[in-house]
């Protein structure tokens, strides 16, 4: 990102000579911040040790290299991939470096949020430039020591080497001299063919912390004087507290106080009653004894049926045009064969395995946050605005995240904890129960897609319409332009298909139900609708579904090469006793195609294998790419036949994993993933694997049973 370059790419941003010590550039002095994770060290403590750190790379005089990961680690692998970008250009062995976690500070680190499959894409050049500039300064320092030309030396494995006499100086011996130099503004980046680290499946440095219990998540944070809170929030969105009776609650040992609480959710305030105790279990016990009277403000009338009917009633509205070419209506009218279908997807909760939580301490005009957030910068700004203090007075400590999927990008839970800390005057740790986490939202929006397709007499697709009826996440923010369609509203609906008359339209709906980004956002619903419908069209045209897509994408080389690879790797339709389904979706800058291979065994559908091919351009760590695809397929399958949030009387019906069902290991197919090799710019990785998962399966089920599934989730046991 632009911002990242501007804020991080200054002379003082790295390799800084400390005037206090006069001996090092930037020193790896640090103290563990969150206690016990030896490698999860917060960069701020270096500042407290007297060294100004405004950078990504520290080298001490002994040559020890410490790299800053400025992005929150939620499972997607930035704790490894961000330092890999720096290390590649810096010419250091990743095994030999320490990684520290940055605090939330956009002035130091640029954009830090994780979401939209964006981390590698937006840091690919910026982070490499920071590493390359450091390398060039170290080389220049060596040339001065040796009085030779730059072309006579090179950097490798934490050393600068003299080409002529093979003499070498390790980086620690060069830091002081390098620190007096001006950082080059446009350092030379390595050519991809010279990469040693990027594109290799190096083991993740966070993994050993996650196999022995030492990784620290937000829920594990303890700060001195901290109290615990559990909050009974209004079950109906936008409802208010009328009154509450805490007599029995206050009798529970350990409960200290009961207070009315508030949490900002977009432009609304959600009210609740918070039980404050000296331990979490007591807070939970006290909460069970609360009696609260709510004012639902008339928002208790929404349920699945009213929403469904309302969406149906809107499907003939003109809506807002997202993509349009040719003349759909005219071509559809003249088509020799037409197909029409409606596809529905439900609300979904994110259900990160670590329920929402954080610790916030508000003291005077200062605020400190500890916890799992995808948006360190947004949380900082949000807390500052909410508490009416300067952003510089707000410290954001980022722990590991026990899952994110979009949910932890939101600022509601930090704001609520800040409200409580300010009110109580102590650091407060708010831990949501699983029921809070699943019922309170924000959710993935539910959707209705109405699709129409027209074929000519040769079975060519000449007209295609896709109309999405759904709530729009960004319209919830104050001041949103509700007449403007952003391209991502219809992401996942592929406009690269060579159809001369095409119309993709959005009919925005408004409901008092908070919604949010959920892994792959609208691609998860649009992708299911469109890739299922493409299958319907292929069958209507009497063509093989994979060949039908290939024909329509023959002038799109990245799509067509991927489909050909997918056909080969999946051994498409070679096993005559199995059924195959295919889907291909382009989103977040990458292309992902999948084939589900299924068969009936003992009267039940058995998902035997997924073959997945992704073209995400150049990769940082191909093993992380594969892991993300595997995980995306599992989450896509969960949404396909396990989980949904239903609404009844303005509240979520499913509350815990007994009803909000997750895929289990016994239902998980094996996955083979292939990555297209090219030198295209990096695309997203965390999300593009999800949208094809459901339609690949339902298309295979149609192949096997003749039953077309148009509504998720479906009961796989009864197919």
Partner 1 sequence: MASISLNINEKSYTVDVDPQMPLLWVIRDHIGLTGTKFGCGIAQCGACTIHLDGNAVRSCILPVAAVADKKITTIEGISENNDHAIQKAWIEEQVPQCGYCQSGQIMSATALLARNPEPTDNDIDLAMQGNICRCGTYPRIRKAIKEASKLTTDGSK
> Which residues lie near partner 1 (CB under 8 A)?
73-77, 203-204, 206-217, 219-220, 222, 228, 253, 279-282, 285, 351-355, 400-405, 431, 433-434, 623, 627-628, 630-635, 656-658, 662-666, 668-671
673: which strand partners?
612
d(CA 68, CA 103): 10
Specify the residue, 394 or 637, whose C-beta has the smaller distance to partner 1.
Answer: 637
SS3 587: strand
Residue with tokens 């096997």: 704
d(CA 317, CA 509): 11
**Among residues 531, 532, 591, 596, which one has the least CA distance to residue 562?**
591
Residue 204 C-beta: closest distance to partner 1, Å: 6
Specify the residue, 665 or 717, whose C-beta has the smaller distance to partner 1.
Answer: 665
Residue 719 carries which DSSP code? -
Specify the residue, 310 or 623, whose C-beta has the smaller distance to partner 1.
Answer: 623
Specify the residue, 402 or 453, whose C-beta has the smaller distance to partner 1.
Answer: 402
Residue 471 carries which DSSP code? E
d(CA 556, CA 494): 12
Specify the residue, 141 or 624, whose C-beta has the smaller distance to partner 1.
Answer: 624
Provide the token pair at 65.
């290299």
Specify the residue, 125 or 435, whose C-beta has the smaller distance to partner 1.
Answer: 435
Do residues 416 and 262 touch, judged by C-beta distance below 8 A? yes
SS3 185: coil
Specify the residue, 472 or 663, whose C-beta has the smaller distance to partner 1.
Answer: 663
Residue 118 C-beta: closest distance to partner 1, Å: 17
d(CA 84, CA 99): 10
Specify the residue, 106 or 612, whose C-beta has the smaller distance to partner 1.
Answer: 612
Phi, psi of 13 (to 5 degrees): -80, -20
d(CA 418, CA 422): 6
Residue 383 C-beta: closest distance to partner 1, Å: 24
Specify the residue, 103 or 433, whose C-beta has the smaller distance to partner 1.
Answer: 433
Specify the residue, 563 or 663, whose C-beta has the smaller distance to partner 1.
Answer: 663
Residue 54 C-beta: closest distance to partner 1, Å: 29
Do residues 127 and 57 touch, judged by C-beta distance below 8 A? no
Classify strands 461-471 and 291-295 as parallel, antiparallel or unpaired. unpaired
**Among residues 445, 477, 447, 113, which one has the least CA distance to residue 265?**
477
Specify the residue, 176 or 623, whose C-beta has the smaller distance to partner 1.
Answer: 623
User: How many other C-beta atoms can be found within 10 angstroms of the C-beta atom of residue 659?
Assistant: 13
Residue 129 C-beta: closest distance to partner 1, Å: 28
Exposure string over 606-644, b if 16+ CB within 10 A, otherwise e: ebbebbbbbbbbbbbbbbbbbbbbbbbbbbbbbbbbbbb
**Among residues 588, 584, 640, 635, which one has the least CA distance to residue 612?**
584
Provide the token pair at 560.
């067509």
d(CA 467, CA 44): 49
Residue 49 carries which DSSP code? T
**Among residues 573, 586, 566, 411, which one has the least CA distance to residue 488?**
586
Do residues 693 and 637 touch, judged by C-beta distance below 8 A? yes
- Residue 256 to residues 231, 274, 276, 581, Cα–Cα distance (Å): 14, 11, 6, 58
Specify the residue, 204 or 509, whose C-beta has the smaller distance to partner 1.
Answer: 204
Q: Which element (helix H / strand E) includes 528?
A: helix 522-541
Q: Which element (helix H / strand E) includes 58?
A: strand 57-59
Residue 478 C-beta: closest distance to partner 1, Å: 32
Do residues 684 and 624 touch, judged by C-beta distance below 8 A? no
Residue 35 C-beta: closest distance to partner 1, Å: 9
Residue 214 C-beta: closest distance to partner 1, Å: 7
Residue 612 C-beta: closest distance to partner 1, Å: 11
Residue 212 C-beta: closest distance to partner 1, Å: 5
Specify the residue, 310 or 608, whose C-beta has the smaller distance to partner 1.
Answer: 608
* Residues, the chain: 719
Classify strands 670-675 and 604-615 as parallel, antiparallel or unpaired. parallel
HEC profile for 270-296? EEEEEEEECCHHHHHHHHHCCEEEEEC
Residue 220 C-beta: closest distance to partner 1, Å: 4
**Among residues 188, 186, 162, which one has the least CA distance to residue 174?**
162
Specify the residue, 311 or 528, whose C-beta has the smaller distance to partner 1.
Answer: 528
Residue 687 C-beta: closest distance to partner 1, Å: 13
Specify the residue, 54 or 352, whose C-beta has the smaller distance to partner 1.
Answer: 352
Exposure string over 545-570, b if 16+ CB within 10 A, otherwise e: bbebbbbbbeebebbbbbbebbbebb
User: How many other C-beta atoms can be found within 10 angstroms of the C-beta atom of residue 383?
Assistant: 26
- Residue 235 to residues 74, 264, 278, Cα–Cα distance (Å): 28, 15, 26
Q: Give Cβ neighbours of residue 54 (< 8 Å, ≥ 6 apart).
A: 12, 13, 14, 16, 108
Specify the residue, 74 or 90, whose C-beta has the smaller distance to partner 1.
Answer: 74
Specify the residue, 77 or 650, whose C-beta has the smaller distance to partner 1.
Answer: 77
Specify the residue, 213 or 487, whose C-beta has the smaller distance to partner 1.
Answer: 213
Residue 168 C-beta: closest distance to partner 1, Å: 33
């Amino acid at each position: 990102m632009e911002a990242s370059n501007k804020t991080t790419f200054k002379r003082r941003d790295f390799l800084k000579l400390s005037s206090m010590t006069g001996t090092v550039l930037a020193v790896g002095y640090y103290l563990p911040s969150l206690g016990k994770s030896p490698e999860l060290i917060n960069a701020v403590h270096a500042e407290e040790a007297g060294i100004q750190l405004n950078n990504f790379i520290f080298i001490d005089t002994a040559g020890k290299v410490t790299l800053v990961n400025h992005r929150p680690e939620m499972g997607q692998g930035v704790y490894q991939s961000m330092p890999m970008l720096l290390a590649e250009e810096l010419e250091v062995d990743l095994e030999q470096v320490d990684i520290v976690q940055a605090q939330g500070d956009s002035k130091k680190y640029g954009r830090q949020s994780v979401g939209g499959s964006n981390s590698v894409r937006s840091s690919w050049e910026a982070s490499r430039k920071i590493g390359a500039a450091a390398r060039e300064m170290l080389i220049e320092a060596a040339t001065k020591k040796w009085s030779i030309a730059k072309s006579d030396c090179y950097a490798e494995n934490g050393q600068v080497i003299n080409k002529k006499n093979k003499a070498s100086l390790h980086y620690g011996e060069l830091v002081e001299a390098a620190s007096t130099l001006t950082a080059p503004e446009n350092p030379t980046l390595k050519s991809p063919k010279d990469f040693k680290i990027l594109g290799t499946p190096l083991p993740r440095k966070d993994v050993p912390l996650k196999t022995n219990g030492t990784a620290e998540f937000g829920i594990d944070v303890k700060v001195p004087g901290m109290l615990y809170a559990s909050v009974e929030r209004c079950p109906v969105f936008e409802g208010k507290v009328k009154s509450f009776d805490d007599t029995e609650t206050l009798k529970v040992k350990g409960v200290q106080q009961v207070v009315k609480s508030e949490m900002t959710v977009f432009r609304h305030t959600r009210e609740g009653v918070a039980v404050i105790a000296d331990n979490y279990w007591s807070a939970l016990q006290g909460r069970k004894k609360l009696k609260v009277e709510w004012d639902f403000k008339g928002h208790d009338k929404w349920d699945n049926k009213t929403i469904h009917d309302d969406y149906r009633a809107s499907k003939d509205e003109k809506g807002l045009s997202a993509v349009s070419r040719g003349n759909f209506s005219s071509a559809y009218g003249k088509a020799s064969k037409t197909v029409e279908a409606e596809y529905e997807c439900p609300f979904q909760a994110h259900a990160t395995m670590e329920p929402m939580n954080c610790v916030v301490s508000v003291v005077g005009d200062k605020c400190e946050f500890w916890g799992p957030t995808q948006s360190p910068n947004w949380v900082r700004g949000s807390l500052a605005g909410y508490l009416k203090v300067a952003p510089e007075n707000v410290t954001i400590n980022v722990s590991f995240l026990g899952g994110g999927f979009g949910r932890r990008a939101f600022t509601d839970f930090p704001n609520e904890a800040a409200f409580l800390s300010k009110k109580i005057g102590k650091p407060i740790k708010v831990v949501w129960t699983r029921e809070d986490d699943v019922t309170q939202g924000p959710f993935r929006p539910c959707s209705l897609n109405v699709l129409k397709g027209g074929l000519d007499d040769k079975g060519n697709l000449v007209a295609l319409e896709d109309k999405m009826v759904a709530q729009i996440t960004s319209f919830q923010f104050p001041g949103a332009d509700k007449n403007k369609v952003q391209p991502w509203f219809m992401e996942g609906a592929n406009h690269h298909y060579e159809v001369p008359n095409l119309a993709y339209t959005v009919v925005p709906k408004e409901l008092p139900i908070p919604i949010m980004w959920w892994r792959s956002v609208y691609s998860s619903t649009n992708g299911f609708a469109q890739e299922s419908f493409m299958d319907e069209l292929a069958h209507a045209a009497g063509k093989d579904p994979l060949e039908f897509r290939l024909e329509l994408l023959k002038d799109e080389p990245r799509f067509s090469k991927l489909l050909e690879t997918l056909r080969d790797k999946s051994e498409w339709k070679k096993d005559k006793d199995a059924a195959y389904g295919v889907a291909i979706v382009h989103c977040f800058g990458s292309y992902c195609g999948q084939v589900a291979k299924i068969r009936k065994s003992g009267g039940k559908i058995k998902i035997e294998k997924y073959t997945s091919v992704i073209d995400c351009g150049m990769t940082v760590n191909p093993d992380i790419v594969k892991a993300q695809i595997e995980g995306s397929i599992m989450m896509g399958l969960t949404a396909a036949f396990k989980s949904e949030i239903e609404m009844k009387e303005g509240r979520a019906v499913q509350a815990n994993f007994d009803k909000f069902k997750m895929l289990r290991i016994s239902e998980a197919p094996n996955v083979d993933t292939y990555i297209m090799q090219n030198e295209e710019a990096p695309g997203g990785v965390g999300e593009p694997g999800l949208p094809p998962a459901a339609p690949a399966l339902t298309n295979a089920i149609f192949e096997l049973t003749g039953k077309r599934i148009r509504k998720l989730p479906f009961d796989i046991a009864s197919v």
